[in-house]
C-alpha cells in the first residue's frame, strides 16, 4: 500500500509541473498541426520559366508548395531578407520553420533567433550553415540541418574548372575576343600546364576528396591539410599526401584550394600575414566561404602580383555590394555564388528539404549526417 500511495503521489507531481522552460524546450518532437514555413531564395525573374526543373529560386520554391499547402501548412517564400522592414522580418515572430540557402543567405542572427518565439527548425537548402549563428541556435534549443552531400559534385567540378581557368590564363584571352583584340603574347606569358604543379587543398571533406579524385589524371603533386587524416585507401586512390602543418604546406603550393567550413577558427584565416608566406605567383580557388579570407589583403596581393590569380564564387557579405574590392582587383575570375546551385544540385537539395520536412511533421529523426545543431550540440566540423 505504501508503494501504491508513493506511485500516486509521483503521478500527481508530474501532472502539476509547469511547462518546460529549459533552453532546449524548443527541440523537435512530434510536430502536428498547421505550421508556418518561410523560405528565402534568390529571385529568378525572367529566367524562372526557362527550365521547369529550376526549383531553387523564389518562383520554383523548391517544388514543395503544393505538397505543403495540401497538408494545411502555410508557405511564405521571399528574396527580401535584409533590413528592419524586409519581408522576412514580418514573419520572424510566428514562423515555425525557416528554409535558407547559401546562395542568397538570410543571416539568422542571435537577435533574430530571440524574436522567433515559435521557431523550431532551421533548414539549409544546400551545404553550409554558417549564415546562422549556430551557437545562439544551440542555446535556444533549435534544430539546424542541411542537405549534406547534395551539391558536393557540383562544387568539386566547379573548382576543377576554376583551377584550369587560372592556370591557363583563360580570361584575358576571352576578354580579347569580345573586345576585338588579338594578342597571343599577353596571354601566353603566364599560361601553364596543370601537369606537374603542386596543388594543395585546405580541407579534405566530401568536396575536397572529390576534387582530389578529379585532379589525379592530371598528374599533379597533390597535398591536403585537414583535421582528420584520410583513410589509407583514399590516399592511395588519389595519391594525395597529408600535411599536418598548414603553414608548412602552403608555401609548397602552386595552387591552393579552400575547402574548409567557415568557423570561428577559420574566419579570416588567410590574413595579410598568412598570404605573405605563400609562394609568389600562387593561384587560389575559394568556393568555401568568402569570410575565410581577409578581403582587402586578397585584393592587395592580387594588385601586387603576389597572388597571380584568384577565383571563387563566395563573398562576404552576399550578395556582394557594388563596391566590393574583389569586383575590381586584377587577375580575378570571380562569379556570383553559383557552384552548388546547378539544376542537378537544386533537385537534390529540394528533395532533401522535402524529406526532412516530412520527417519533422511526423516527429521522426533526420539522417544523422544532416544535423548541424541537435539537442544543443554543434556538429564536429563547426566545433
The active-site residue out of 112, 289, 348, 370 is: 289
Q: Does residue 263 have a known ligand-binding role?
A: yes
- Has 265 been labeled as part of a binding site? yes
Question: Does 287 show up as a binding residue in the annotation?
Answer: yes
152-167 helix and 170-178 helix, angle to the nearest 10 degrees: 80
- Confirm whether residue 226 is marked as ligand binding: yes
Mind giving me the DSSP string for 42-61?
B--GGGGGG-TT--SBTTTG
Q: Which residues in 203-213 are b (16+ Cβ under 10 Å) and which e? A: bbbbbbbbbbb
Check whether 206 is labelled as a binding-site residue. yes
Active-site entry in 96, 104, 131, 151: 151
Q: Do the annotations mark residue 338 as ligand-binding?
A: yes
Cell 528565402 locates to 40
CA-to-CA distance for 142 and 113, rounded, in angstroms? Answer: 9
To the question of whether residue 340 is assigned a binding role by annotation, the answer is: yes
236 is in an annotated binding site: no
Q: Which residue has the cell 575565410?
A: 292
DSSP state of 132: B
Q: Is 271 a catalytic residue?
A: no
Smallest CA-to-CA distance from 334 within 171, 105, 156 is with 171
Closest CA relative to residue 148, chosen from 169, 164, 125: 125
Q: Is 286 annotated as a binding residue?
A: no
Report CA-CA distances (Å) from 153 to 137, 270, 340.
Answer: 29, 25, 8
Question: Residue ranges of the alpha helices (H) in 168-285?
Answer: 170-178, 184-188, 206-215, 232-238, 246-249, 272-276
Q: Which one from 120, 259, 286, 318 is the annotated catalytic residue?
A: 318
262 marked among binding-site residues: yes
Establish whether 318 is a catalytic residue: yes
CB contact set of 212 (below 8 Å; sequence gap of 6+): 201, 204, 222, 224, 238, 240
Cell of 249: 604546406
CA–CA distance, 125 with 116 (Å, rounded to integer): 20
Residue 151 in marked binding region:
yes
User: Is 62 within any annotated ligand binding site?
Assistant: no
Of 96, 104, 112, 337, the active-site residue reads: 337
Binding site: which residues? Answer: 127, 151, 206-207, 226, 261-265, 287, 313, 337-340
Q: Binding-site residues for NAD(+), please?
A: 206-207, 226, 261-265, 287, 313, 337-340
Annotated binding-site residue numbers for substrate: 127, 151
Q: Which amino acids are annotated catalytic?
A: 151, 289, 318, 337
Amino acid at each position: 500500500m505504501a508503494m501504491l500511495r508513493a506511485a500516486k503521489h509521483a503521478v500527481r507531481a508530474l501532472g502539476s509541473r509547469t511547462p518546460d522552460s529549459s533552453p532546449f524546450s524548443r527541440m523537435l518532437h512530434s510536430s502536428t498541426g498547421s505550421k508556418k514555413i518561410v523560405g528565402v531564395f534568390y529571385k529568378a525573374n525572367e529566367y524562372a520559366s526557362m527550365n521547369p526543373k529550376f526549383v531553387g529560386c523564389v518562383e520554383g520554391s523548391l517544388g514543395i508548395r503544393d505538397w505543403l499547402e495540401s497538408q494545411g501548412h502555410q508557405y511564405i517564400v521571399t528574396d527580401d531578407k535584409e533590413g528592419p522592414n524586409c519581408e522576412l522580418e514580418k514573419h520572424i515572430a510566428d514562423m515555425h520553420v525557416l528554409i535558407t540557402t547559401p546562395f542568397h543567405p538570410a543571416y539568422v542572427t542571435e537577435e533574430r533567433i530571440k524574436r522567433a518565439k515559435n521557431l523550431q527548425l532551421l533548414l539549409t537548402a544546400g551545404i553550409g550553415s554558417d549564415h546562422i549563428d549556430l551557437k545562439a541556435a544551440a542555446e535556444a534549443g533549435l534544430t539546424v540541418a542541411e542537405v549534406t552531400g547534395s551539391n558536393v559534385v557540383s562544387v568539386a567540378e566547379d573548382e576543377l574548372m576554376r583551377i584550369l581557368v587560372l592556370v591557363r590564363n583563360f580570361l584575358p584571352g576571352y576578354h580579347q575576343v569580345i573586345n576585338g583584340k588579338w594578342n597571343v603574347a599577353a596571354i601566353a606569358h603566364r599560361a601553364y600546364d596543370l601537369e606537374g604543379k603542386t596543388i594543395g587543398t585546405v580541407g579534405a571533406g566530401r568536396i575536397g576528396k572529390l576534387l582530389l579524385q578529379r585532379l589525379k589524371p592530371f598528374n599533379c603533386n597533390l597535398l591536403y591539410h585537414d583535421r582528420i587524416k584520410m583513410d589509407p585507401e583514399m590516399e592511395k586512390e588519389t595519391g594525395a599526401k597529408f600535411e599536418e602543418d598548414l603553414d608548412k604546406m602552403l608555401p609548397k603550393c602552386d595552387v591552393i584550394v579552400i575547402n574548409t567550413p567557415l568557423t570561428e577558427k577559420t574566419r579570416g584565416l588567410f590574413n595579410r600575414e598568412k598570404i605573405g608566406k605563400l609562394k609568389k605567383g600562387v593561384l587560389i580557388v575559394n568556393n568555401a566561404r568568402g569570410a575565410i579570407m581577409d578581403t582587402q589583403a586578397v585584393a592587395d596581393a592580387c594588385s601586387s602580383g603576389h597572388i597571380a590569380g584568384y577565383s571563387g564564387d563566395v563573398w562576404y557579405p552576399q550578395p556582394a555590394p557594388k563596391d566590393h574590392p574583389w569586383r575590381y582587383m586584377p587577375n580575378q575570375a570571380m562569379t556570383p555564388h553559383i557552384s552548388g546551385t546547378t539544376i542537378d544540385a537544386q533537385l537534390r537539395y529540394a528533395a532533401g528539404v522535402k524529406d526532412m520536412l516530412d520527417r519533422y511533421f511526423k516527429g521522426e529523426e533526420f539522417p544523422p549526417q544532416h544535423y548541424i545543431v541537435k539537442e544543443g550540440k554543434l556538429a564536429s566540423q563547426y566545433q
